[in-house]
Amino acid sequence: MIMDLYNYWVVIALMMIGFYSVIVRGNLVKKLIGLNIFQTSVFIFYISVGKVDGGTAPILVDGVTLYSNPLPHVLILTAIVVGIATLALALALVVRIKDAYGTVEEEEIREIDEQ
Amino acid sequence: MVHLPVLQVVIPLMAAPALLLLNRPWQSWLLTCVVTITAFAISGSLLGTVYSSGTISYELGGWEPPWGIEYRIDLLSAYVLLIVSGVAALVAVASRQGLDADVASDKQPTLYVLFCLCLAGLLGIVATGDLFNVFVFLEISSLSTYALIAMGPHRRALWASYQYLVVGTIGATFLLIGIGFIYSLTGTLNMQDIAARLPLVDAAHTVHTAFAFIVVGVCLKLALFPLHFWLPNAYTYAPSMVTVFLAATATKVAVYLLIRLHYSIFGPNFALDVLPLNTLFLVLGLAGVFAASLVAVQQPNVKRLFAYSSIAQIGYMIVGLGLGTVIGLQATLLHLFNHALMKGALFMAIAGVVYRVGGSDLAHFAGLGRLMPWTMAAILIGGLSLIGVPLTVGFISKWYLVLGALEAGLWPIAGLVLIASVLALFYVWRIVEVAYFEAPTSLTEGAREAPLGMLLATWVLVGANIFFGIDTELTRQTSELAAQHLMGVQP
């Protein structure tokens, strides 16, 4: 039972690891790595949902009748693009924060802002 | 004309790359104005069509829903499209001078690109009838918003943008998880189709989980107390014109999204026996109203003060939702429209002050009552509207909210709403006091009236505040019909 759904357990584990890192880490780059793991877990969730037991890739071939559902895969391609755009923008922000504040540690930025 | 629903979104979307290639401050501004005014004209025409001939369903690429993507404009979407594109047009017109205060002229063309992208995203969220489309447009608008905030003049804008990015991405990913659950249960992404299939699904736990993820994700985006902590910094450090646009549109679209997902997909009575959502909304909404108003009273910076006030006003909208009645929902829809007018006028006037005086601390307002009479009069009227004085739009939405609370037999809530209005009086009074009863200091001496373009945009919004406060026909009728439609009540 548990092993049958192992991919969903992996999703939950990754999601929690990512979410934890976003909240706990003080380093802005590490936060983003956490955020990315969090997003990736959702991608795996969608891909797992689309898999049909015994199904093959949805390409018309003689003698095959059972296909996996391609729609979640297509959706997640879009979400991956969104994820990359988010990460790129976030890293660009971190570079500019480093230039402006001289640090990428949340604590130190807060201290500088309070002065 | 049959393509108007998609043109509404595609025109600003296509304008973005065109603006990127154009890359000249003056021409970019002109094109942005043309695009936003066109979008406004289209949404006006859509509202007219919906009134005369009912909900519009547009099939993208001719693919019939539920297989293809459907754009669906009903009364609620047309109403929200109108306010979003209207504010966008005014912001665009005022940006010619308004941006000079805090964005270097070589960066301005890029800002217009992001502005059009953000507008396309917001309009897309409202126009689409496809759940995954909502996520994509939400991310288009969010990503451009992060970049817009980061263009603020102070380095704190970068930090504010980063914080918003992390919170916004978590919110959007929660929404994505919820959509995934719903898709795996119903096998469709079309909202109408989901609404038809969801009651037949025999997996209550999964549906509830999906609902919880979606509600929390959207509430992060709409800055519902206590998920609001990203908003004050974002509004305070963004360029002033960007603050006007965000304050008047972004959170409103998020509220629209919450209403659309809750009422059109899950249905008004969904899971009320399992999740005490209405009670939760009432408690969090009122807590937000009081906490944010009390913090607003203490703020030394006027932009930040009104940012906290925005969180409080969102609280009112959520209280309306929590009442769970037609009048409560109508109050939410009225306040959604009216708050956009109030905060648009207020932040636009503040942008004028930033342009002339160079800052938005309370000290920058000393003696401006005489130096910038028109701008300060706009802040005064906007403030009165925020408090809910009769003859302004603020009165109309508070009236319906109190009416809804009384009708539901919740008179303590009606009382609390009225008490909270007094708090608004306190924070508005602080600005009025400094502007009208203090002499100009070295900071403000020699300040002149804001430039004509900005003043014009401010007073169009102020005029709308008074006009819709007296002639409530359009907003009242639209919100009433939309609320009845959403609650499934026959008029």
B183 touches chain A (CB under 8 A): yes
Contact list, B166 vs chain A (CB under 8 Å): 22, 31, 35, 90
Of B161, B180, B184, the CB nearest to A93: B161
Q: Which stretches does DSSP call E strand in B119-211?
A: none
Q: Which domain holds residue B295?
A: 276-491
* B-interface mutation test, from A12, A41, A51, A89, most B Cβ less than 10 A away: A89
In a domain, B362, yes or no: yes
pLDDT on residue A68? 86
Minimum CA–CA partner of A42 in chain B: B177
How far is the alpha carbon of B479 from chain A, nearest alpha carbon, in Å? Answer: 34
In a domain, B462, yes or no: yes
Is B450 within 8 Å of B301 (Cβ atoms)? no
In a domain, B99, yes or no: no
Rounded to a whole number of angstroms, the CA Rg of chain A reads 20
Of B162, B176, B180, the CB nearest to A93: B162
* A-interface mutation test, from B155, B173, B227, most A Cβ less than 10 A away: B173
**What whole-number distance in Å separates Cα of residue A18 and Cα of residue B264?**
32
Minimum CA–CA partner of B151 in chain A: A93
pLDDT on residue B103? 85
pLDDT on residue B491? 54
B147 touches chain A (CB under 8 A): yes
A94 touches chain B (CB under 8 A): yes
In a domain, B297, yes or no: yes
Residue A40 burial class via C-beta count within 10 angstroms: exposed 0-12, middle 13-18, buried 19 and up:
middle
Minimum CA–CA partner of B67 in chain A: A71
**What whole-number distance in Å separates Cα of residue B137 and Cα of residue B121?**
4
How far is the alpha carbon of B95 from chain A, nearest alpha carbon, in Å? Answer: 24
**What whole-number distance in Å separates Cα of residue B129 and Cα of residue B134?**
8
Strand (E) or helix (H) holding B72:
strand B70-73
pLDDT on residue A3? 76
* Res A63 pLDDT > 90: no
pLDDT on residue A52? 81
Q: How many CB pairs under 8 A join A and B?
A: 67
- State which residues of chain B have pLDDT below 70: 271, 490-491
Is A11 within 8 Å of A41 (Cβ atoms)? yes
Q: Is the peptide bond before B66 cis (omega within 30 degrees of 0)?
A: yes
In a domain, B425, yes or no: yes
Average pLDDT over residues A49-56: 82
**pTM (2 decimals)?**
0.93
B395 touches chain A (CB under 8 A): no
Q: DSSP letter string over A77-105?
A: HHHHHHHHHHHHHHHHHHHHHHHHHS--B
Nearest one of B15, B18, B126, B136 to B76, comparing CA atoms: B126
pLDDT level of residue A1 (50, 70, 90 thresholds): low
- What's phi and psi for B59, nearest 5 deg? -95, 115
pLDDT in tens, B54-75: 888 888 888 888 888 999 999 9
pLDDT in tens, A77-107: 999 999 999 999 999 999 999 999 999 999 9
In a domain, B294, yes or no: yes
SS3 A53: coil
Would strands B70-73 and B56-59 be described as parallel, antiparallel, or unpaired?
antiparallel
Of A22, A42, A85, the CB nearest to B143: A85
Of B136, B155, B180, the CB nearest to A46: B180
Q: Among the listed ranges A19-23, A57-61, B339-343, which one has the minimum average pLDDT value?
A: A57-61
**What whole-number distance in Å separates Cα of residue B110 and Cα of residue B87?**
20
Strand (E) or helix (H) holding B321:
helix B302-323
Nearest one of B130, B219, B206 to B175, comparing CA atoms: B219
Residue with tokens 């004209």: B41
- A39/B173 touch (CB, cutoff 8 Å), yes or no: yes
**What whole-number distance in Å separates Cα of residue A47 and Cα of residue A69?**
9
* Alpha-carbon dihedral B305, B307, B312, B317, rounded to 10 degrees: 150
Q: Looking at this protein, which amino acid is placed at residue B153?
A: P
A44 touches chain B (CB under 8 A): no
**What whole-number distance in Å separates Cα of residue B352 and Cα of residue B360?**
10
In a domain, B454, yes or no: yes
pLDDT on residue B270? 78
pLDDT on residue B410? 85
How far is the alpha carbon of A100 from chain B, nearest alpha carbon, in Å? Answer: 6
pLDDT level of residue A7 (50, 70, 90 thresholds): confident
Contact list, A28 vs chain B (CB under 8 Å): 162
Residue A9 burial class via C-beta count within 10 angstroms: exposed 0-12, middle 13-18, buried 19 and up:
exposed
Which ipTM value was assigned to this complex? 0.94
SS3 A76: helix
Q: Looking at this protein, which amino acid is placed at residue B66?
A: P
| Interfacial A residues in 45-64 facing B (CB < 8 Å) | 45-46, 49
In a domain, B318, yes or no: yes
Q: DSSP letter string over B4-57?
A: HHHHHHHHHHHHHHHHHHH--HHHHHHHHHHHHHHHHHHHHHHHHHHHHH--EE
Question: Greater confidence, A46 or A52?
Answer: A46
By percentage, how much of chain A surpasses pLDDT 70? 98
Contact list, B184 vs chain A (CB under 8 Å): 49
Q: Looking at this protein, which amino acid is placed at residue B143?
A: L
**What whole-number distance in Å separates Cα of residue B115 and Cα of residue B242?**
8
**What whole-number distance in Å separates Cα of residue B29 and Cα of residue B19?**
9
Q: CA-CA distances (angstroms) from residue B83 to B27, B234, B241, B283, B342?
A: 25, 22, 17, 28, 12
Contact list, B156 vs chain A (CB under 8 Å): 113
Cα end-to-end distance, chain A, whole Å: 57
What are residue B58's DSSP bridge partners? Answer: B71
B236 touches chain A (CB under 8 A): no
What does DSSP assign to residue B3? Answer: T
Contact list, B150 vs chain A (CB under 8 Å): 93, 96
**What whole-number distance in Å separates Cα of residue B407 and Cα of residue B399?**
12
Q: CA-CA distances (angstroms) from residue B162 to A98, A104, B242?
A: 12, 11, 16
Looking at the 3D structure of chain B, how many domains does it have?
A: 1
